Amino acid sequence: MEEQRIILLSCGQFDRAFLRQVALAVGKEYNTAVITEECHLDLNPFYNPNRRQYDGDRLLRQIPLCTTLPYTRLIGLFRVDLYIPILTYIFGQAILGKSDAIASVFRLRNELYGLKQDEELLLSRTVKEVIHELGHTFGLIHCQNQACVMRSSTYVEEIDLKSSSLCGVCREKLDQEGK
C-alpha cells in the first residue's frame, strides 16, 4: 500500500488519551501513523430540529475544510447523533474510494441503551467504527466474515461481535488497492 497520512479529526472535544488510543489502534491496523487534530466546528448549521439529529451527508462534505494539514485519509469523529435522509441513524459514513469519512460515538455508548457506562467498551467500539469507515475510503466493501471489522453492523451489539482487524481477504484487497 502507498504511504498514507491519516488524520483523525476530533469534532467533539474528546479526551486526549481517548483520541491517542484510537489513533494508535487505527494506525496499527493500517500500518501508518495517525495524526490527531482538534476541530472547532460549529455544529448548529448541521442540526435538523425535526429529527433532532445532525446531517451526516453535509458534515462529510464539511470536514475537509476543517483541516489545513495535508492528508490522504481524513476521518471526523463526533459526539452527536448523525443521520442521513434515508436512514434513521448512522454510526458513520464514507463514500467508497473517496478520502473522507465521519463517525460518531453517540450510539456507541452503553448509557444510550440504559446500560452501565463502560469506557473500555466505548473505546473498542470507536476503534472498530473508525477502522471500518476508513476501510470504505480504501475501497473495501462489507465483508461476510463474522470476525472481520468490515462486516456490516446495523446495531451496536453487532459491533461487539466482530474484531477490530481486517480479515485475510480484505487485507489482500487493501494491499492490491494500494498497488
Partner 1 sequence: MADKISILIVDDEDSVRDSLLNWFIEDGYEVEAAENAKRALQLLEKRDFNIILADIKMPGMDGLELQRRIKALNSETIVIIMTAFASVETAVQALKDGAYDYVTKPFDPDDLSHLIRNAGAQIRLRQENEALKTRVTTLDDVDDIIGKSEAIRKLLEQIESVAQSNSSVIITGESGTGKELVARAIHANSQRRYFPLVSVHCGALTESLLESELFGHEKGAFTGATFNRKGRFEMADGGTIFLDEIATVSPKMQIELLRVLETKSFHRVGGNKEITSDFRVICATNRDLETMVRNGTFREDLYYRLNVVNITIPPLRERTDDIPLLVNHFINKYCTSMSRDLITIEPAAMKQLEKFEFPGNVRELENMIERAIVIGNGKEIRLKDLPMGKEAPDSSVESLEELEKKHIEQILAKYEWNVSRSARALHVDRVTLYNKIRKYGLKQKE
Residues designated as active site? 133
CA-CA distance, 13 to 82, in Å (whole number)?
Answer: 17
> Does position 125 bind partner 1 by CB under 8 A?
no
Q: In 80-143, where does DSSP find H-type helix?
A: 119-137
How many residues lie near partner 1 (CB under 8 A)? 19
Smaller CB separation from partner 1, 146 or 154: 154
> Does position 142 bind partner 1 by CB under 8 A?
yes
Output the smallest distance, CB 140 to partner 1, in A.
9
- Contact partners, residue 49, CB within 8 Å, separation at least 6: none
Among 69, 95, 115, 147, binds partner 1 (CB under 8 A): 95
Dihedral sign of CA atoms 21, 32, 173, 86 in order: positive
Neighbours of 33 (CB within 10 A): 12
Q: Which of these ranges, 1-9, 73-81, 83-91, 167-175, lies near partner 1 under the rule CB under 8 A?
A: 83-91
> What is the separation, in whole angstroms, between the first and last Cα of the chain?
6
For residue 171, give the H/E element and its range: helix 168-178
Binding mask 6-45 for partner 1 (x = CB under 8 A): ----------------------------------------
Bridge-based pairing of strands 73-78 and 47-48 is unpaired
Contact 43, 53 (CB under 8 A): no
> Does position 71 bind partner 1 by CB under 8 A?
no
Binding mask 45-64 for partner 1 (x = CB under 8 A): ------------x-------
Contact set with partner 1 (CB under 8 A): 57, 83-90, 93-96, 136, 141-142, 152, 154-155
